Amino acid sequence: MTRCLNVVVLVGMLAGGAACDDDLFGPDLGPTVGPEHDGVLLELSFPEQVLAGGSVPFRVLLTNIESEPFTIEDPQFDVYLLDGSGDVLWNFLYGNVIIGGVDHTIQPGETYEFEVVWELNRNDGGTVAEGDYLVFSVFYPLLPPALVSETRSITIIGE
């Protein structure tokens, strides 16, 4: 099983560095797979540019792409914001205690939506500066592996 985030391969190739070294880029999520696995597709929707001082609505979308119902048990979702070096600046679950989600069955073609609003804050306090960042979401099912969405960029611009 790989523990590489899908962004690691791309960034590693562009930077000419190692293609998969969790100690060098991004958080250690344990066993992961790409955005499509076991009949579901994980996507993350958000505005690509945000004004400094604003907020960002992140919509995590888990779509059943199979012909049979898919039950998510005790669903846990997270959203990560990384700088260009792969350091985690913010993630939704940091400091939040989530106790047992509600099981939900996703019918064929249906999408389960989880929304997180980010106030441009950092896990270590303060706010994120203007610039370009990387964002992805994670769905932690009851049993591994975790699904990781495509990694995309977001730009914080001046007011």
Average pLDDT of the residues in 2-28: 40
DSSP secondary structure code for residue 121 in this structure: B
Helix and strand totals (H; E) in the chain: 1, 13
Look up residue 46 and give its amino acid.
F
Residue 16 lies in a domain: no
pLDDT 10s digits, 86-122: 999 999 999 877 666 788 999 999 999 999 999 999 9
Full domain range(s) for residue 152: 29-157
**Residue 36, both tokens:** 């499509």
- Return the CATH number at 89: 2.60.40.2360
| Percent of the chain predicted with pLDDT > 90 | 67
Residue 3 lies in a domain: no
Look up residue 100 and give its amino acid.
G
Confidence of residue 74 (pLDDT cuts 50, 70, 90): confident
Residue 43 lies in a domain: yes
Residue 5 lies in a domain: no
Number of structural domains found in the chain: 1
Cα Rg for the chain, rounded, in angstroms?
A: 16
Average pLDDT of the residues in 33-60: 96
Residue 142 lies in a domain: yes
